Structure 1
Amino acid sequence: MFTTYKRISFKLNGQEVIWEVDVRKSLLEVLREKGLTGVKKGCGVGECGACTVLIDETPTDSCLYLAVWAEGKTIRTIEGIAKNGELTAVQQAFVEEGAIQCGFCTPGLVLTTTALAESGKDYTPDELKRELSGHICRCTGYQKIFSAAERSLGQEHHCACGHHHEE
């Protein structure tokens, strides 16, 4: 008889977990069922970025990723970013730049920006925009998000005049 559940083990926000998961469910569905509601269900087809998590440090749309594929992986959600209640530099930059409005897209954007910051690479403004292009925000108009990403990466800022200004 075919069973639809499988036991998987992986590292979630720094802790080893063993879960019985329905092989038909996405990682998004399973994370939310387990109480990790920082991962948001937006479009359900990998276009909006609201469900982004870091899988082995790579931003991934969890709506397109089957939960069973998490076996042996390291996964971080927005719940696993702050340490001891302290905001990270990325989170702080989003607050300081006013890049948070309704907050629906924020967890995915913070996770993607965290991966970029932790990569140690420098990004041109166009590269940064490309890296964040998988996220849809209906509130901010994106400039504040790009400014927050630049700030958290320690890169130059761009003002409304279109010139580059060093911090």
Structure 2
Amino acid sequence: MSVRKAAGVSVAALAAATLALTAGCGAGGDEPAKAKERDNGGRPTASSPAAQDKEPPPGEDGRERKPKKPKGETTPVVPRASLTPATGSFTKKEKKYLVGRVPEGLEPAAVLEAGRTACARLRTTAKASRKDAISALKAGEIDNAEPAVEHLCPEFEPLLKAAGKK
């Protein structure tokens, strides 16, 4: 093979390699980014052009943040007389827990379940380690713990006191 032919082959190989490497850089080069978006549930990735044109994701984990309410504005709650489950009835203890906690449009049983979950988490944590349960209460890691202990699981009141929450 002549030197001239070898040089021509090398230039052609170099051009092909360059095209392959830069294929995503020019017009229509956001195709790989669009593929990532499709794989990411339609949400733009941080490096995609769509993400650079839009605002950053609402939260670190991608979930939407609740809008902040102006000070003094409260969410209307379901009145005591309207606190009824879809089936059966609430005990007096459960109804006391629900009063003032059920926003309009939310099922009272869901709010009650959140309280029961707080009691269950406290029970499980305290069973493993009283110290860990107190630490979790101090750090606010168990949602609805204070009202749940007050109304649904008063046996954990000493833990609440030890955490300085009562």
TM tier, smaller: under 0.3
How high is the TM-score relative to the length of structure 2?
Answer: 0.27
Which structure has the bigger radius of gyration? 2
Q: Which has the higher strand share?
A: 1
Higher RCO, 1 vs 2 (CA within 8 Å, ≥6 residues apart): 1
